[in-house]
């Protein structure tokens, strides 16, 4: 009776964990054999019979009958006199099977059995969760905010699995409350001890890629392919798309009428500005498109013999003066994304740069360094580039006051008079 009661109590774990009954029985046998080995030194001569339907358990120890006084191993051998107490007609050399009750193992052994079983089931459950989520790496996933910490948000999925969204994987404008549904991609899954650590990301380029798959039917169906993604999360992104069907305009299909299709993606990413461009194997054309909205006059590509810092070559791009700031973008964002998307280091050269032009750094005694830095941020690093740009445009593109800009242009004009 004790065996039945104990196996019934063990079965409660099956109801609380995603583990099938056959696996549970296998774990039970493993745990019992470990207990028998601790108690008797070996479990090789034990038969364990588990009946899943009845929840019954039987343990039988098999020993060989030896002459009285000649037993060398009490676990595997039984003396004739002791054997005949079980069955009076046993003879030397015969096999004796004797049932072992769990109660015979002792109270401490039974408590250890239970603890070992709990540990094994949790270990099995953690391994299954690890395998399940490992297969989902790079895939879109949703979970609910359970707990908010200073450096991470703890999420729970529908099955109660814990997913971590670190601060570093959140978009700067992200703000969530408990109970909110959060989308991202499964970035990494690791086993830390016996517990799976599942990391969600909203900043990975793969997240934007998967959003395109989910929100744009032609991408989901494979009619349009996403060939490359470069992101500064929450600020700006560039996405290169292509289609094997000449009748489909991949950029138009992704953006939609008046941006209707891409609007949901932009909103999900905290109003991240997304440039969608046509992919091409013509590298010069692809680089030109990646630098949009700037219009490139010409370029020269130098390939590296081996990749350097993940780049396959360097490009010297020639632009008209008014296009330079567009190519670079505020804070260098546009040129940085273009470089990441194309895989080239990009140098911008201004078209028609005259020999008498002077670098702004030559005026360090008359113009403060932080002012020069502001001009450089928008791609203006020579005297004529600043003079060729209107005051209104400079006020709009920099953080400088109008009076400061007028004063700077006055100083620069004096150089050429």
Is the same domain home to 216 and 339? yes
Q: Identify whether 223 is part of a domain.
A: yes
The total domain count for the chain is 4
Q: Is 280 exposed, middle or buried (0-12, 13-18, 19+ CB in 10 A)?
A: middle
Is the same domain home to 46 and 166? no
User: Model pTM?
Assistant: 0.62
pLDDT at 4: 44
Is the same domain home to 140 and 115? no
pLDDT at 1: 37
Residue 204 gets which letter from DSSP? S
Q: Identify whether 64 is part of a domain.
A: yes
Range of the domain at 228: 206-350
Final residue before a domain boundary, out of 169, 203, 237: 203
pLDDT at 356: 62
In the predicted model, is pLDDT for residue 50 greater than 90? Answer: no
Is the same domain home to 239 and 331? yes
- Chain centroid offset of residue 132 CA: 14
269-275 average pLDDT score: 93
344-365 average pLDDT score: 77
Is the same domain home to 379 and 316? no
Q: Is 10 exposed, middle or buried (0-12, 13-18, 19+ CB in 10 A)?
A: buried
Q: Of 52-66, 92-106, 127-141, which one has max mean pLDDT?
A: 127-141
pLDDT digits (tens, 9 = 90+) for 211-236: 999 999 999 999 999 999 999 998 99
DSSP H or E segment with residue 312:
strand 311-319
Kindly write down the DSSP assignment for every residue of 23-84, as one continuous string.
HHHHHHHHHHHHHHHHHHS--TTEEEEEETTTTEEEEEEEEEEE-TT--S-TTTEEEHHHHH
pLDDT at 15: 52
pLDDT digits (tens, 9 = 90+) for 19-48: 666 677 777 778 888 888 888 888 888 888
389-396 average pLDDT score: 88
Is the same domain home to 102 and 31? yes
Q: What are residue 346's DSSP bridge partners? A: 315
Is the same domain home to 214 and 266? yes
Cα–Cα distance measured from residue 287 to residue 282, given in angstroms and rounded to the nearest whole number: 9
Mean pLDDT rounded to a whole number for the chain: 85
273 in Cβ contact with 236 (< 8 Å) = yes
Q: Which two tokens stand for residue 108?
A: 């401490």
Is the same domain home to 249 and 266? yes
Q: Identify whether 355 is part of a domain.
A: no
Query: pLDDT > 70: what percent of the chain?
Result: 90
């Amino acid at each position: 009776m004790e065996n039945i009661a104990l196996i019934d109590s063990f079965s409660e774990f099956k109801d609380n964990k995603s583990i099938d009954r056959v696996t549970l029985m296998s774990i039970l046998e493993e745990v019992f054999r470990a207990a028998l080995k601790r108690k008797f030194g070996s479990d090789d001569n034990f038969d364990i019979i588990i009946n899943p339907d009845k929840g019954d358990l039987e343990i039988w120890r098999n020993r060989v009958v030896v002459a009285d006084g000649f037993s060398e191993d009490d676990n595997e051998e039984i003396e004739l006199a002791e054997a005949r107490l079980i069955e009076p007609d046993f003879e030397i050399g015969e096999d004796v099977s004797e049932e072992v009750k769990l109660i015979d193992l002792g109270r401490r052994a039974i408590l250890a059995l239970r603890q070992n079983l709990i540990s094994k089931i949790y270990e099995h459950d953690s391994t299954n969760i690890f395998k399940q989520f490992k297969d989902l790496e790079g895939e879109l996933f949703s979970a609910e905010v359970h707990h908010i910490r200073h450096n991470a948000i703890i999420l729970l999925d529908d099955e109660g699995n814990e997913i971590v969204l670190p601060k570093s994987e959140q978009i700067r404008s992200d703000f969530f409350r408990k109970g909110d549904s959060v989308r991202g991609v499964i970035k990494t899954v690791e086993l830390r001890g016996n517990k799976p650590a599942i990391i969600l990301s909203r900043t990975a380029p793969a997240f934007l890629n998967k959003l395109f798959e989910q929100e744009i039917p032609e991408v989901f169906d494979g009619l349009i392919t996403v060939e490359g993604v470069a992101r500064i999360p929450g600020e700006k992104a560039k996405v290169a798309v292509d289609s094997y069907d000449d009748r489909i305009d991949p950029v138009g299909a992704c953006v939609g009428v008046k941006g209707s299709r891409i609007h949901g993606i932009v909103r999900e990413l905290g109003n991240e500005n997304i440039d969608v461009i046509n992919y091409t194997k013509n590298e010069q054309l692809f680089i030109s498109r990646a630098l949009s909205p700037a219009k490139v006059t010409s370029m020269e590509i130098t390939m590296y013999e081996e990749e350097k810092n993940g780049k396959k070559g360097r490009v010297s791009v020639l632009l008209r003066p008014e296009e330079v700031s567009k190519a670079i973008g505020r804070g260098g964002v546009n040129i940085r994304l273009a470089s990441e998307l194309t895989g080239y280091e990009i140098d911008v050269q201004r078209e028609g740069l005259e020999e008498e032009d002077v670098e702004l750094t030559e005026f360090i005694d008359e113009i403060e360094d932080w002012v020069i830095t502001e001009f450089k941020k928008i791609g203006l690093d020579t005297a004529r580039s600043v003079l060729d740009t209107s005051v209104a445009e400079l006020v709009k593109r920099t953080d400088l006051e109008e009076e400061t800009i007028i004063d700077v242009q006055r100083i620069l004009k004096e150089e050429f008079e």
